[in-house]
Amino acid sequence: MRLFVAVVPPRPVLLELRAALSTLPHGDVGVRWTHPESWHITLAFLGEVPETTLPDLTERLARAAGRATPMELAIAGGGQFDSHTLWAGVQGDRDRLGRLSESVAAAARRCRVKVDERPFRPHVTLARVRGEGHTDLKPYVERMQSFRTPRWLVKEIGLFESLPPAGVGRPPVYVGRGHWALTGR
Catalytic residue among 26, 35, 40, 134: 40
For the chain, 185 residues long, give each residue's pLDDT as a single digit of tens: 999 999 999 999 999 999 998 887 776 667 888 889 899 999 999 999 999 999 999 999 999 999 999 999 999 999 998 878 999 999 999 999 999 999 999 999 999 999 998 999 999 999 888 766 667 888 889 988 999 999 999 999 999 999 987 776 677 889 999 999 999 87
CB neighbours (10 Å) of residue 82? 7
> What strands, in cross-sheet order, belong to the sheet with 152-154?
31-33, 123-129, 85-92, 71-81, 152-154
Work out how many domains the chain is built from and give that number: 1
46 backbone φψ class: left, alpha, beta (φ>0; ψ -120 to 50) = alpha
Catalytic residue among 26, 84, 123, 134: 123
CA distance 159 to 53: 13
* Structural domain for 136, as ranges: 2-181
123 is catalytic: yes
Q: What is the pLDDT of residue 164?
A: 84
Q: What is the pLDDT of residue 150?
A: 94
35 is catalytic: no
CATH classification of the domain holding 44: 3.90.1140.10
What is the value of pTM for the model shown? 0.92
